[in-house]
């Protein structure tokens, strides 16, 4: 993530935490209550003393699952060509594009509401091959829309790369110019 986007993300994160302070505090208390056993002093010492071995075990478990053709994170069946389950695929996309993996279900719902098709070309989208998320109004020009689901659509990765930082109108104008030039040259 470029520095500019990273700082934008941090700023958004701080704003979110300020707005949702009470909710986050309640969630934190629930989490600590459910996981109090994990955070007893002996557990922390055990983790500190065995960090390398535990990290190695976790990595081996992840690769073993992947070699068996299941998601490396949770051992569920893989989704498309992603080497991840459906949940972890959408969690990764949500985290990458709107900075919040907990909103993965919104991203998933959007994928299926578009009938797994690119919103610009109608091409069939295959997760892990050509499915990508596009900000309709570029986040470079509209940073306030960075995490708004209304500004995001599923798109073919090649189209998304070509669109880059253009708005839809700018992309259409560029395509028209290319076609007009090509017709005149023939």
Q: Average pLDDT, whole number, for the chain?
A: 83
Among 1-5, 61-65, 124-128, 182-186, the range scoring the smallest mean pLDDT is 1-5
Provide the pLDDT confidence category of residue 158 given band limits of 50, 70 and 90. Answer: very high
Alpha carbon distance 92, 73 (integer Å): 12
Alpha carbon distance 50, 36 (integer Å): 20
Query: Residues 156, 132: contact at Cβ < 8 Å?
Result: yes
Kindly list the distances between the CA atom of residue 110 and the CA atoms of 52, 55, 60, in Å, as whole numbers in the listed order.
40, 35, 34
Is the confidence at residue 5, as pLDDT, over 90?
no
Q: Could you tell me which residue, 44 or 133, shows the higher pLDDT?
A: 133
Q: Residues 6 or more apart from 70 whose CB is under 8 A from it?
A: 76, 77, 78, 85
Measured in degrees and rounded to the nearest 5, phi and psi for residue 153 equal -140, 155
Provide the pLDDT confidence category of residue 6 given band limits of 50, 70 and 90. Answer: low
Alpha carbon distance 47, 106 (integer Å): 35
pLDDT at 78: 84
* pTM, 2 dp: 0.66
Q: Determine the average pLDDT of the residues in 65-81.
A: 84
Query: Residues 157, 125: contact at Cβ < 8 Å?
Result: no
The percent of residues above 90 in pLDDT, for the chain, comes to 28
């Amino acid at each position: 993530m470029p520095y500019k986007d990273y700082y934008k993300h941090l700023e958004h994160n701080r704003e979110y935490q300020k707005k949702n302070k009470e909710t986050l505090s309640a969630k934190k208390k629930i989490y600590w209550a459910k996981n109090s056993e994990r955070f007893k002093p002996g557990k922390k010492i055990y983790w500190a003393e065995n960090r390398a071995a535990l990290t190695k075990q976790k990595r081996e478990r992840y690769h073993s699952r992947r070699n068996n053709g299941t998601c490396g994170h949770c051992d569920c069946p893989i989704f498309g060509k992603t080497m991840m389950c459906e949940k972890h695929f959408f969690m990764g996309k949500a985290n990458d594009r709107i900075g919040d993996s907990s909103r993965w279900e919104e991203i998933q719902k959007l994928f299926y509401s578009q009938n797994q098709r690119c919103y610009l070309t109608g091409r069939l989208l295959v997760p892990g091959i050509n499915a990508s998320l596009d900000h309709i109004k570029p986040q470079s020009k509209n940073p306030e829309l960075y995490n708004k689901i209304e500004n995001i659509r599923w798109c073919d990765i090649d189209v998304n790369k070509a669109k880059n930082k253009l708005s839809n109108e700018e992309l259409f104008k560029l395509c028209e110019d290319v076609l007009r030039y090509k017709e005149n040259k023939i």
